[in-house]
A and B are shown apart, each in its own frame.
Chain A
Amino acid sequence: MIEAIFFYIFSAVLILSAAMVVSARNPVHAVLFLILAFFNAASLFVMLGAEFIAMTLVIVYVGAVAVLFLFVVMMLDINFAELRRGMMKHLPVGGFVGVVLLIELIWLYVTSQIDPSAASRVASPVPDANVITNTHALGQVLYTQYVYPFQISGLILLVAMIGAITLTLRPLPRARRQNVSKQVSREVKDVLKVIKVETGAGVE
Protein backbone atom coordinates (compact mmCIF):
# COMPACT_ATOMS: atom_id res chain seq x y z
CA MET A 1 0.00 0.00 0.00
CA ILE A 2 2.77 2.41 1.00
CA GLU A 3 4.63 1.64 -2.23
CA ALA A 4 1.53 2.44 -4.29
CA ILE A 5 1.03 5.76 -2.48
CA PHE A 6 4.66 6.77 -3.06
CA PHE A 7 4.52 5.64 -6.68
CA TYR A 8 1.51 7.86 -7.36
CA ILE A 9 3.06 10.82 -5.53
CA PHE A 10 6.33 10.56 -7.49
CA SER A 11 4.67 10.02 -10.87
CA ALA A 12 2.16 12.82 -10.31
CA VAL A 13 4.93 15.27 -9.41
CA LEU A 14 7.00 13.99 -12.34
CA ILE A 15 4.24 14.55 -14.89
CA LEU A 16 3.23 17.92 -13.43
CA SER A 17 6.79 19.23 -13.36
CA ALA A 18 7.41 17.93 -16.89
CA ALA A 19 4.35 19.86 -18.02
CA MET A 20 5.64 22.94 -16.20
CA VAL A 21 9.00 22.67 -17.99
CA VAL A 22 7.35 23.43 -21.32
CA SER A 23 4.71 25.84 -20.04
CA ALA A 24 6.66 27.96 -17.50
CA ARG A 25 7.03 31.59 -18.56
CA ASN A 26 10.36 32.14 -16.82
CA PRO A 27 13.19 30.05 -18.35
CA VAL A 28 14.95 29.68 -14.99
CA HIS A 29 11.77 28.27 -13.48
CA ALA A 30 11.55 25.86 -16.42
CA VAL A 31 15.05 24.51 -15.67
CA LEU A 32 14.23 24.21 -11.96
CA PHE A 33 11.13 22.19 -12.85
CA LEU A 34 13.29 20.03 -15.12
CA ILE A 35 15.51 19.27 -12.12
CA LEU A 36 12.43 18.33 -10.09
CA ALA A 37 11.35 16.02 -12.91
CA PHE A 38 14.79 14.32 -13.01
CA PHE A 39 14.69 13.87 -9.28
CA ASN A 40 11.26 12.24 -9.29
CA ALA A 41 12.31 9.95 -12.14
CA ALA A 42 15.26 8.90 -9.95
CA SER A 43 12.85 8.15 -7.09
CA LEU A 44 10.82 5.93 -9.43
CA PHE A 45 14.03 4.08 -10.36
CA VAL A 46 14.76 3.53 -6.68
CA MET A 47 11.27 2.07 -6.24
CA LEU A 48 11.95 -0.29 -9.15
CA GLY A 49 15.10 -1.48 -7.37
CA ALA A 50 17.39 0.08 -9.99
CA GLU A 51 19.41 2.00 -7.41
CA PHE A 52 22.55 2.40 -9.53
CA ILE A 53 20.68 3.99 -12.43
CA ALA A 54 18.78 6.22 -10.01
CA MET A 55 21.98 7.58 -8.48
CA THR A 56 23.66 7.97 -11.87
CA LEU A 57 20.65 9.91 -13.12
CA VAL A 58 20.95 12.33 -10.20
CA ILE A 59 24.75 12.65 -10.49
CA VAL A 60 24.89 13.12 -14.26
CA TYR A 61 21.70 14.99 -15.06
CA VAL A 62 20.96 16.90 -11.85
CA GLY A 63 24.54 17.36 -10.69
CA ALA A 64 26.19 18.25 -13.98
CA VAL A 65 23.96 18.70 -17.02
CA ALA A 66 21.23 20.76 -15.34
CA VAL A 67 23.84 22.95 -13.60
CA LEU A 68 25.17 23.94 -17.03
CA PHE A 69 21.61 24.46 -18.33
CA LEU A 70 20.84 26.73 -15.41
CA PHE A 71 24.17 28.49 -15.86
CA VAL A 72 23.46 29.25 -19.53
CA VAL A 73 19.82 30.19 -18.99
CA MET A 74 20.74 32.59 -16.19
CA MET A 75 23.52 34.22 -18.21
CA LEU A 76 21.59 34.65 -21.45
CA ASP A 77 18.66 36.97 -21.64
CA ILE A 78 16.34 34.69 -23.59
CA ASN A 79 13.04 36.08 -24.76
CA PHE A 80 10.77 33.07 -24.48
CA ALA A 81 7.71 34.81 -25.90
CA GLU A 82 9.71 35.31 -29.11
CA LEU A 83 10.70 31.65 -29.19
CA ARG A 84 7.16 30.52 -28.57
CA ARG A 85 5.76 32.42 -31.54
CA GLY A 86 6.63 29.60 -33.94
CA MET A 87 4.95 27.00 -31.76
CA MET A 88 1.85 26.44 -33.93
CA LYS A 89 4.09 25.89 -36.95
CA HIS A 90 6.12 23.15 -35.27
CA LEU A 91 3.18 21.55 -33.47
CA PRO A 92 2.42 18.90 -36.16
CA VAL A 93 6.02 17.62 -36.19
CA GLY A 94 6.24 17.52 -32.40
CA GLY A 95 2.82 15.90 -32.17
CA PHE A 96 3.88 13.22 -34.67
CA VAL A 97 6.97 12.32 -32.62
CA GLY A 98 4.87 12.19 -29.47
CA VAL A 99 2.28 9.89 -31.09
CA VAL A 100 5.00 7.53 -32.37
CA LEU A 101 6.52 7.29 -28.88
CA LEU A 102 3.10 6.66 -27.36
CA ILE A 103 2.34 3.88 -29.87
CA GLU A 104 5.69 2.24 -29.10
CA LEU A 105 4.98 2.31 -25.38
CA ILE A 106 1.50 0.85 -25.85
CA TRP A 107 2.99 -1.81 -28.13
CA LEU A 108 5.54 -2.79 -25.47
CA TYR A 109 2.84 -2.99 -22.83
CA VAL A 110 0.47 -5.05 -25.00
CA THR A 111 3.15 -7.56 -26.10
CA SER A 112 4.25 -8.08 -22.50
CA GLN A 113 0.61 -8.69 -21.59
CA ILE A 114 -0.04 -11.18 -24.42
CA ASP A 115 3.24 -13.07 -24.07
CA PRO A 116 4.75 -12.86 -20.55
CA SER A 117 8.01 -14.47 -21.72
CA ALA A 118 8.68 -11.64 -24.21
CA ALA A 119 10.58 -9.56 -21.64
CA SER A 120 13.02 -12.39 -20.87
CA ARG A 121 13.96 -12.72 -24.54
CA VAL A 122 14.84 -9.03 -24.90
CA ALA A 123 16.77 -8.43 -21.68
CA SER A 124 19.60 -10.39 -20.14
CA PRO A 125 18.52 -12.75 -17.36
CA VAL A 126 18.06 -10.76 -14.15
CA PRO A 127 20.12 -12.15 -11.26
CA ASP A 128 18.66 -12.43 -7.79
CA ALA A 129 19.03 -9.16 -5.90
CA ASN A 130 19.95 -11.02 -2.71
CA VAL A 131 22.92 -12.73 -4.33
CA ILE A 132 24.46 -9.90 -6.29
CA THR A 133 24.09 -6.13 -6.04
CA ASN A 134 22.61 -4.00 -8.76
CA THR A 135 25.95 -2.39 -9.61
CA HIS A 136 27.79 -5.72 -9.95
CA ALA A 137 25.05 -7.15 -12.15
CA LEU A 138 25.17 -4.10 -14.46
CA GLY A 139 28.94 -4.23 -14.69
CA GLN A 140 28.99 -7.93 -15.50
CA VAL A 141 26.63 -7.45 -18.44
CA LEU A 142 28.08 -4.15 -19.62
CA TYR A 143 31.70 -5.32 -19.78
CA THR A 144 31.07 -8.79 -21.23
CA GLN A 145 28.03 -9.09 -23.46
CA TYR A 146 27.77 -5.42 -24.46
CA VAL A 147 31.42 -4.43 -24.31
CA TYR A 148 31.62 -3.26 -27.96
CA PRO A 149 28.46 -1.10 -27.97
CA PHE A 150 29.58 0.30 -24.62
CA GLN A 151 33.06 1.20 -25.87
CA ILE A 152 31.64 2.61 -29.11
CA SER A 153 29.30 4.92 -27.19
CA GLY A 154 32.32 6.06 -25.21
CA LEU A 155 34.19 6.81 -28.43
CA ILE A 156 31.22 8.75 -29.78
CA LEU A 157 31.21 10.86 -26.64
CA LEU A 158 34.95 11.44 -27.02
CA VAL A 159 34.47 12.58 -30.62
CA ALA A 160 31.65 14.90 -29.53
CA MET A 161 33.89 16.36 -26.82
CA ILE A 162 36.77 16.96 -29.23
CA GLY A 163 34.32 18.52 -31.68
CA ALA A 164 32.98 20.90 -29.06
CA ILE A 165 36.50 21.91 -28.06
CA THR A 166 37.70 22.54 -31.64
CA LEU A 167 34.56 24.54 -32.40
CA THR A 168 34.94 26.87 -29.44
CA LEU A 169 38.73 27.05 -29.02
CA ARG A 170 40.13 30.06 -30.82
CA PRO A 171 43.59 31.50 -30.37
CA LEU A 172 43.69 34.58 -28.19
CA PRO A 173 46.79 36.55 -29.22
CA ARG A 174 46.45 38.99 -26.33
CA ALA A 175 45.76 36.36 -23.66
CA ARG A 176 48.19 36.50 -20.75
CA ARG A 177 48.92 33.08 -19.37
CA GLN A 178 50.40 32.27 -16.02
CA ASN A 179 53.63 30.27 -16.10
CA VAL A 180 53.99 28.92 -12.61
CA SER A 181 57.47 27.45 -12.96
CA LYS A 182 58.72 30.74 -14.36
CA GLN A 183 57.22 32.63 -11.44
CA VAL A 184 58.61 30.26 -8.88
CA SER A 185 62.11 30.25 -10.39
CA ARG A 186 62.36 34.06 -10.14
CA GLU A 187 65.00 35.07 -7.66
CA VAL A 188 65.77 38.32 -5.90
CA LYS A 189 69.15 38.81 -7.59
CA ASP A 190 67.57 38.52 -11.08
CA VAL A 191 64.98 41.21 -10.60
CA LEU A 192 66.29 43.53 -7.92
CA LYS A 193 69.42 45.61 -7.99
CA VAL A 194 70.63 47.70 -5.06
CA ILE A 195 72.64 50.72 -6.11
CA LYS A 196 74.49 53.14 -3.94
CA VAL A 197 73.63 56.54 -5.39
CA GLU A 198 76.07 59.42 -5.01
CA THR A 199 74.48 62.70 -4.03
CA GLY A 200 73.87 64.83 -7.12
CA ALA A 201 75.02 62.09 -9.53
CA GLY A 202 71.78 60.19 -10.14
CA VAL A 203 71.37 56.76 -11.71
CA GLU A 204 71.76 55.84 -15.37
Chain B
Amino acid sequence: MADLFTTYVVPVLWIALKIMMIVVPLLMGMAYLTYAERKILAAMQMRQGPMVVGMYGLLQPFADAVKLLGKETIIPTGANKFVFVMAPMLTFVLSLVAWAVIPVSDGFVIANINVGVLYLFAISSMGVYGILMAGWASNSHYAFLGGLRAAAQMVSYEVSMGLVLVTVLLTTGSLNLSQIVTAEHPWWVSLLLFPMFVIFVISALAETNRSPFDLPEGESELVGGFNVEYSSMTFALFFLGEYMNMILMSGMTSILFLGGWLPPFGIAALGFIPGPIWFALKVCFVLFIFIWARGTMPRYRYDQLMRLGWKVFLPFTLAWVVLMAGALLYNNALPGM
Protein backbone atom coordinates (compact mmCIF):
# COMPACT_ATOMS: atom_id res chain seq x y z
CA MET B 1 0.00 0.00 0.00
CA ALA B 2 2.83 2.36 0.91
CA ASP B 3 4.44 1.39 -2.38
CA LEU B 4 1.35 2.42 -4.31
CA PHE B 5 1.33 5.70 -2.43
CA THR B 6 4.93 6.62 -3.30
CA THR B 7 4.86 5.43 -6.93
CA TYR B 8 1.49 6.80 -8.02
CA VAL B 9 -0.28 9.10 -5.57
CA VAL B 10 2.63 11.44 -4.76
CA PRO B 11 3.74 11.99 -8.39
CA VAL B 12 0.15 12.57 -9.49
CA LEU B 13 -0.37 15.16 -6.75
CA TRP B 14 2.95 16.81 -7.64
CA ILE B 15 1.99 16.99 -11.33
CA ALA B 16 -1.43 18.38 -10.40
CA LEU B 17 0.28 21.07 -8.32
CA LYS B 18 2.58 21.97 -11.20
CA ILE B 19 -0.39 22.19 -13.57
CA MET B 20 -2.19 24.50 -11.16
CA MET B 21 0.93 26.69 -10.96
CA ILE B 22 0.71 27.20 -14.72
CA VAL B 23 -3.06 27.30 -15.21
CA VAL B 24 -4.08 29.67 -12.39
CA PRO B 25 -1.73 32.52 -13.43
CA LEU B 26 -2.72 31.83 -17.03
CA LEU B 27 -6.44 32.27 -16.31
CA MET B 28 -5.74 35.41 -14.30
CA GLY B 29 -3.56 36.71 -17.12
CA MET B 30 -6.31 35.95 -19.59
CA ALA B 31 -8.89 37.82 -17.49
CA TYR B 32 -6.65 40.89 -17.35
CA LEU B 33 -5.79 40.56 -21.03
CA THR B 34 -9.42 41.41 -21.83
CA TYR B 35 -9.12 44.39 -19.48
CA ALA B 36 -5.78 45.44 -21.03
CA GLU B 37 -7.26 45.17 -24.51
CA ARG B 38 -10.16 47.45 -23.64
CA LYS B 39 -7.89 49.94 -21.88
CA ILE B 40 -5.30 50.04 -24.69
CA LEU B 41 -7.95 50.37 -27.39
CA ALA B 42 -9.57 53.10 -25.33
CA ALA B 43 -6.27 54.95 -25.02
CA MET B 44 -5.75 54.69 -28.78
CA GLN B 45 -9.20 56.16 -29.40
CA MET B 46 -8.89 58.83 -26.67
CA ARG B 47 -11.50 57.24 -24.44
CA GLN B 48 -11.23 56.05 -20.86
CA GLY B 49 -12.27 52.44 -21.18
CA PRO B 50 -13.80 50.52 -18.25
CA MET B 51 -13.73 52.81 -15.21
CA VAL B 52 -16.80 51.90 -13.14
CA VAL B 53 -16.28 48.47 -11.55
CA GLY B 54 -13.54 48.77 -8.94
CA MET B 55 -10.64 51.20 -8.98
CA TYR B 56 -9.88 52.18 -12.62
CA GLY B 57 -12.30 49.44 -13.62
CA LEU B 58 -9.90 46.77 -12.38
CA LEU B 59 -12.69 44.39 -11.39
CA GLN B 60 -14.36 44.60 -14.80
CA PRO B 61 -13.20 41.11 -16.01
CA PHE B 62 -14.86 39.48 -13.00
CA ALA B 63 -18.07 41.44 -13.51
CA ASP B 64 -18.10 40.21 -17.12
CA ALA B 65 -17.50 36.61 -16.04
CA VAL B 66 -20.35 36.73 -13.51
CA LYS B 67 -22.65 38.27 -16.12
CA LEU B 68 -21.86 35.52 -18.64
CA LEU B 69 -22.37 32.79 -16.01
CA GLY B 70 -25.75 34.18 -15.09
CA LYS B 71 -27.12 34.06 -18.62
CA GLU B 72 -29.22 31.31 -20.11
CA THR B 73 -27.62 28.71 -22.39
CA ILE B 74 -29.65 28.57 -25.56
CA ILE B 75 -29.28 25.61 -27.91
CA PRO B 76 -31.03 26.18 -31.26
CA THR B 77 -33.69 23.66 -32.19
CA GLY B 78 -32.08 22.69 -35.48
CA ALA B 79 -28.63 22.34 -33.95
CA ASN B 80 -26.71 19.10 -33.65
CA LYS B 81 -26.66 19.15 -29.84
CA PHE B 82 -23.63 16.96 -29.13
CA VAL B 83 -21.32 18.67 -31.62
CA PHE B 84 -22.74 22.07 -30.65
CA VAL B 85 -21.73 21.62 -27.01
CA MET B 86 -18.46 19.82 -27.80
CA ALA B 87 -17.11 22.62 -30.01
CA PRO B 88 -16.48 25.30 -27.33
CA MET B 89 -15.17 22.66 -24.92
CA LEU B 90 -12.67 21.46 -27.53
CA THR B 91 -11.49 25.00 -28.25
CA PHE B 92 -10.93 25.72 -24.57
CA VAL B 93 -9.23 22.40 -23.77
CA LEU B 94 -6.85 22.66 -26.73
CA SER B 95 -5.79 26.16 -25.74
CA LEU B 96 -4.94 24.89 -22.23
CA VAL B 97 -3.28 21.60 -23.23
CA ALA B 98 -0.61 23.34 -25.29
CA TRP B 99 0.82 24.97 -22.16
CA ALA B 100 2.12 21.57 -20.99
CA VAL B 101 5.33 22.04 -22.99
CA ILE B 102 5.93 25.81 -22.64
CA PRO B 103 9.04 26.42 -20.51
CA VAL B 104 8.32 29.41 -18.26
CA SER B 105 11.81 29.36 -16.79
CA ASP B 106 14.90 27.15 -16.73
CA GLY B 107 13.48 23.73 -15.84
CA PHE B 108 10.03 25.16 -14.96
CA VAL B 109 7.97 23.18 -17.46
CA ILE B 110 5.35 20.47 -16.96
CA ALA B 111 6.54 18.13 -19.73
CA ASN B 112 10.00 18.74 -21.20
CA ILE B 113 9.48 16.60 -24.30
CA ASN B 114 11.92 16.24 -27.19
CA VAL B 115 9.40 17.21 -29.87
CA GLY B 116 7.98 20.29 -28.12
CA VAL B 117 7.80 22.42 -31.26
CA LEU B 118 5.93 19.73 -33.18
CA TYR B 119 3.56 19.26 -30.24
CA LEU B 120 2.72 22.96 -30.19
CA PHE B 121 2.28 22.98 -33.95
CA ALA B 122 -0.01 19.94 -33.77
CA ILE B 123 -2.16 21.41 -31.00
CA SER B 124 -2.47 24.81 -32.67
CA SER B 125 -3.39 23.17 -35.98
CA MET B 126 -6.23 21.35 -34.21
CA GLY B 127 -7.71 24.62 -33.01
CA VAL B 128 -9.65 24.93 -36.25
CA TYR B 129 -11.91 22.00 -35.33
CA GLY B 130 -13.68 23.86 -32.55
CA ILE B 131 -14.63 26.64 -34.96
CA LEU B 132 -15.50 24.32 -37.84
CA MET B 133 -17.66 22.12 -35.60
CA ALA B 134 -19.38 25.18 -34.10
CA GLY B 135 -20.13 26.56 -37.55
CA TRP B 136 -21.60 23.32 -38.77
CA ALA B 137 -23.53 22.32 -35.64
CA SER B 138 -25.25 25.71 -35.26
CA ASN B 139 -27.30 25.02 -38.39
CA SER B 140 -27.15 28.68 -39.35
CA HIS B 141 -25.84 30.24 -42.56
CA TYR B 142 -23.79 32.94 -40.84
CA ALA B 143 -22.16 30.48 -38.49
CA PHE B 144 -21.47 28.04 -41.32
CA LEU B 145 -19.80 30.69 -43.48
CA GLY B 146 -17.70 31.72 -40.48
CA GLY B 147 -16.61 28.12 -39.92
CA LEU B 148 -15.65 27.59 -43.56
CA ARG B 149 -13.66 30.81 -43.60
CA ALA B 150 -11.83 29.78 -40.44
CA ALA B 151 -10.89 26.42 -41.95
CA ALA B 152 -9.54 27.89 -45.19
CA GLN B 153 -7.72 30.67 -43.36
CA MET B 154 -6.01 28.48 -40.78
CA VAL B 155 -4.86 25.90 -43.33
CA SER B 156 -3.32 28.60 -45.52
CA TYR B 157 -1.35 30.25 -42.74
CA GLU B 158 -0.18 27.02 -41.15
CA VAL B 159 2.06 26.20 -44.11
CA SER B 160 4.13 29.36 -43.91
CA MET B 161 4.15 29.08 -40.12
CA GLY B 162 5.62 25.59 -40.45
CA LEU B 163 8.35 26.94 -42.73
CA VAL B 164 9.13 29.67 -40.18
CA LEU B 165 9.50 26.96 -37.54
CA VAL B 166 11.85 25.06 -39.88
CA THR B 167 14.05 28.16 -40.17
CA VAL B 168 14.26 28.49 -36.40
CA LEU B 169 14.98 24.78 -35.98
CA LEU B 170 17.83 25.02 -38.51
CA THR B 171 19.60 27.48 -36.22
CA THR B 172 19.02 25.53 -33.00
CA GLY B 173 19.26 21.90 -34.11
CA SER B 174 16.71 20.75 -31.57
CA LEU B 175 12.94 20.38 -31.31
CA ASN B 176 13.06 20.80 -27.54
CA LEU B 177 11.71 24.20 -26.50
CA SER B 178 14.13 24.65 -23.58
CA GLN B 179 17.08 23.92 -25.85
CA ILE B 180 15.73 26.37 -28.43
CA VAL B 181 15.79 29.11 -25.78
CA THR B 182 19.31 28.31 -24.57
CA ALA B 183 20.80 27.70 -28.03
CA GLU B 184 23.53 30.18 -28.86
CA HIS B 185 24.09 31.52 -32.33
CA PRO B 186 26.16 34.26 -33.99
CA TRP B 187 24.74 37.77 -34.32
CA TRP B 188 24.01 37.54 -38.08
CA VAL B 189 21.70 34.56 -37.45
CA SER B 190 19.50 36.75 -35.24
CA LEU B 191 19.50 39.36 -37.99
CA LEU B 192 18.43 36.78 -40.59
CA LEU B 193 15.70 35.54 -38.24
CA PHE B 194 14.09 38.98 -37.90
CA PRO B 195 11.94 38.77 -41.09
CA MET B 196 10.77 35.36 -39.90
CA PHE B 197 9.74 36.95 -36.59
CA VAL B 198 7.59 39.47 -38.45
CA ILE B 199 5.96 36.77 -40.58
CA PHE B 200 5.40 34.59 -37.52
CA VAL B 201 3.59 37.37 -35.67
CA ILE B 202 1.37 38.11 -38.68
CA SER B 203 0.63 34.40 -39.13
CA ALA B 204 -0.14 34.18 -35.43
CA LEU B 205 -2.71 36.96 -35.89
CA ALA B 206 -4.32 34.94 -38.68
CA GLU B 207 -4.09 31.69 -36.71
CA THR B 208 -5.85 33.12 -33.67
CA ASN B 209 -8.49 34.87 -35.84
CA ARG B 210 -7.52 38.24 -34.50
CA SER B 211 -8.04 41.54 -36.24
CA PRO B 212 -7.13 42.39 -39.05
CA PHE B 213 -7.74 38.71 -39.96
CA ASP B 214 -10.89 38.20 -37.88
CA LEU B 215 -12.96 37.13 -40.89
CA PRO B 216 -14.47 34.04 -39.21
CA GLU B 217 -16.17 36.47 -36.80
CA GLY B 218 -16.56 39.40 -39.19
CA GLU B 219 -19.26 41.32 -37.29
CA SER B 220 -19.94 43.67 -40.17
CA GLU B 221 -20.85 40.92 -42.65
CA LEU B 222 -21.45 37.67 -40.76
CA VAL B 223 -23.18 39.08 -37.63
CA GLY B 224 -20.84 37.20 -35.27
CA GLY B 225 -19.51 34.43 -37.50
CA PHE B 226 -19.11 30.96 -36.06
CA ASN B 227 -20.33 31.95 -32.59
CA VAL B 228 -23.61 33.65 -33.55
CA GLU B 229 -25.75 30.97 -31.93
CA TYR B 230 -23.70 30.64 -28.77
CA SER B 231 -24.67 32.20 -25.47
CA SER B 232 -23.68 32.15 -21.80
CA MET B 233 -20.96 29.63 -20.81
CA THR B 234 -20.62 28.11 -24.28
CA PHE B 235 -19.81 31.57 -25.63
CA ALA B 236 -17.54 32.27 -22.66
CA LEU B 237 -15.51 29.15 -23.48
CA PHE B 238 -14.95 30.36 -27.06
CA PHE B 239 -13.97 33.75 -25.73
CA LEU B 240 -11.58 32.26 -23.18
CA GLY B 241 -10.14 29.97 -25.83
CA GLU B 242 -9.44 32.86 -28.19
CA TYR B 243 -7.62 34.91 -25.56
CA MET B 244 -5.75 31.86 -24.28
CA ASN B 245 -4.61 31.13 -27.83
CA MET B 246 -3.36 34.71 -28.07
CA ILE B 247 -1.28 34.23 -24.93
CA LEU B 248 -0.06 30.88 -26.26
CA MET B 249 1.03 32.35 -29.58
CA SER B 250 2.81 35.17 -27.74
CA GLY B 251 4.53 32.57 -25.58
CA MET B 252 5.60 30.66 -28.69
CA THR B 253 6.92 33.86 -30.29
CA SER B 254 8.92 34.79 -27.21
CA ILE B 255 10.40 31.28 -26.96
CA LEU B 256 11.29 30.98 -30.64
CA PHE B 257 12.49 34.52 -31.33
CA LEU B 258 12.80 36.61 -28.16
CA GLY B 259 14.83 34.26 -25.98
CA GLY B 260 12.14 33.04 -23.56
CA TRP B 261 13.16 33.50 -19.94
CA LEU B 262 16.62 34.96 -20.68
CA PRO B 263 17.25 38.71 -20.30
CA PRO B 264 16.96 40.59 -23.63
CA PHE B 265 20.04 40.96 -25.89
CA GLY B 266 22.03 38.76 -23.53
CA ILE B 267 22.63 41.59 -21.03
CA ALA B 268 24.05 39.74 -18.03
CA ALA B 269 23.48 42.70 -15.69
CA LEU B 270 19.72 42.19 -16.02
CA GLY B 271 20.04 38.56 -14.92
CA PHE B 272 19.02 39.39 -11.33
CA ILE B 273 15.39 39.61 -12.47
CA PRO B 274 13.97 36.06 -12.33
CA GLY B 275 13.26 34.16 -15.56
CA PRO B 276 9.44 33.89 -15.29
CA ILE B 277 9.21 37.69 -15.06
CA TRP B 278 11.24 38.17 -18.25
CA PHE B 279 9.08 35.56 -19.94
CA ALA B 280 5.89 37.33 -18.81
CA LEU B 281 7.23 40.71 -19.96
CA LYS B 282 8.06 39.34 -23.42
CA VAL B 283 4.62 37.73 -23.68
CA CYS B 284 3.05 41.07 -22.72
CA PHE B 285 5.10 42.81 -25.41
CA VAL B 286 3.82 40.47 -28.14
CA LEU B 287 0.28 40.74 -26.77
CA PHE B 288 0.57 44.50 -27.04
CA ILE B 289 1.46 44.07 -30.73
CA PHE B 290 -1.70 41.96 -31.13
CA ILE B 291 -3.90 44.67 -29.59
CA TRP B 292 -2.01 47.43 -31.38
CA ALA B 293 -2.74 45.76 -34.72
CA ARG B 294 -6.40 45.58 -33.79
CA GLY B 295 -6.51 49.26 -32.95
CA THR B 296 -4.71 50.31 -36.13
CA MET B 297 -5.67 48.06 -39.03
CA PRO B 298 -8.95 47.67 -40.91
CA ARG B 299 -10.16 44.14 -41.62
CA TYR B 300 -8.69 42.39 -44.67
CA ARG B 301 -10.91 41.39 -47.53
CA TYR B 302 -11.12 37.62 -47.83
CA ASP B 303 -9.31 37.23 -51.15
CA GLN B 304 -6.57 39.59 -49.97
CA LEU B 305 -6.06 37.40 -46.93
CA MET B 306 -5.70 34.31 -49.09
CA ARG B 307 -3.36 36.14 -51.45
CA LEU B 308 -1.14 37.22 -48.56
CA GLY B 309 -0.92 33.67 -47.20
CA TRP B 310 -0.33 31.72 -50.41
CA LYS B 311 1.31 34.20 -52.78
CA VAL B 312 3.44 36.31 -50.44
CA PHE B 313 4.27 34.44 -47.25
CA LEU B 314 4.63 30.93 -48.66
CA PRO B 315 7.20 31.75 -51.40
CA PHE B 316 9.05 34.14 -49.12
CA THR B 317 9.39 31.71 -46.22
CA LEU B 318 10.36 28.89 -48.58
CA ALA B 319 13.11 31.03 -50.11
CA TRP B 320 14.21 32.10 -46.64
CA VAL B 321 14.57 28.48 -45.47
CA VAL B 322 16.94 27.83 -48.39
CA LEU B 323 18.84 31.07 -47.74
CA MET B 324 19.17 30.34 -44.05
CA ALA B 325 20.34 26.79 -44.65
CA GLY B 326 22.86 28.03 -47.22
CA ALA B 327 24.18 30.78 -44.96
CA LEU B 328 24.54 28.39 -42.03
CA LEU B 329 26.30 25.80 -44.17
CA TYR B 330 28.64 28.35 -45.75
CA ASN B 331 29.71 29.73 -42.38
CA ASN B 332 29.96 26.26 -40.85
CA ALA B 333 27.45 27.33 -38.21
CA LEU B 334 24.96 24.47 -38.57
CA PRO B 335 24.37 23.01 -35.11
CA GLY B 336 25.32 19.37 -34.73
CA MET B 337 27.83 19.42 -37.60
Which residues of A does B touch, CB under 8 Å?
Answer: 2, 26, 28-29, 32, 35, 51-52, 55-56, 58-59, 62-64, 67-68, 70-71, 74-75, 133-136, 178
Contacts and interface: CB of A to CB of B under 8 A. Distances in A.
B226 to A, nearest CB: 12
Interface residues of B, number: 31
B129 A133 contact: no
Nearest to B113: A51
Interface of B: 8, 80, 83, 113-115, 118-119, 121-122, 125-126, 128-129, 132-133, 136, 144, 147-148, 151-152, 154-155, 158, 174-175, 303-304, 307, 336
Q: What does DSSP make chain A's interface, helix, strand, loop or mixed?
A: helix
A42 B22 CA distance: 25
B158 A64 contact: yes
Given A67-B129, A133-B114, A135-B115, 8 more contacts: A55-B115, A62-B122, A71-B148, A74-B136, A74-B144, A74-B147, A135-B114, A178-B303
B336 to A, nearest CB: 8
Contact of A52 (B118, B125, B136, B158): B118
B182 to A, nearest CB: 16
Contact of A134 (B114, B126, B129): B114
A133 B114 CA distance: 7
B148 A74 contact: yes
A19 to B, nearest CB: 18
Nearest to B124: A63
23 contacts: A28-B136, A29-B83, A32-B133, A51-B113, A55-B115, A55-B119, A55-B121, A62-B122, A62-B125, A62-B126, A63-B121, A63-B125, A63-B128, A63-B158, A64-B125, A67-B128, A74-B147, A74-B148, A75-B148, A133-B114, A133-B174, A135-B115, A178-B304
B134 to A, nearest CB: 12
Contacts, number: 71
Given A67-B132, A67-B155, A75-B148, A52 B115 contact: yes
A74 B132 contact: yes
A12 to B, nearest CB: 20
Given A28-B136, A74-B132, A59 B148 contact: no
Kindly list the 9 A-B residue pairs having the minimum CB-CB distance in the complex, ordered from nearest: A63-B125, A55-B118, A58-B122, A133-B114, A59-B122, A51-B115, A55-B115, A74-B136, A71-B151
A160 B94 CA distance: 33
A28 B136 CA distance: 9
Contacts of B148: 71, 74-75
A16 B336 CA distance: 44
Contacts of A2: 8
Contact of B155 (A28, A51, A68, A135): A68
Contacts of B175: 133, 135
A26 B133 CA distance: 14
B175 to A, nearest CB: 6
B122 A63 contact: yes
A63 B8 contact: no
Given A63-B158, A178-B304, A51 B114 contact: yes
Interface centre among B122, B133, B155, B336 (most CB of A within 10 A): B122
Contacts of A68: 155
B313 to A, nearest CB: 14
A59 B123 CA distance: 8
Nearest to B307: A178
Contacts of A59: 118, 121-122, 125
A113 B147 CA distance: 50
Contacts of A75: 148
A44 to B, nearest CB: 15
Contacts of A26: 80
Nearest to A70: B132
A119 B276 CA distance: 47
A133 B118 CA distance: 14
B242 to A, nearest CB: 19
A70 B151 CA distance: 9
B71 to A, nearest CB: 28
Nearest to A136: B336
Nearest to B8: A2
A6 to B, nearest CB: 13
Nearest to B176: A133
A58 B144 CA distance: 25
A41 to B, nearest CB: 13
A134 B155 contact: no
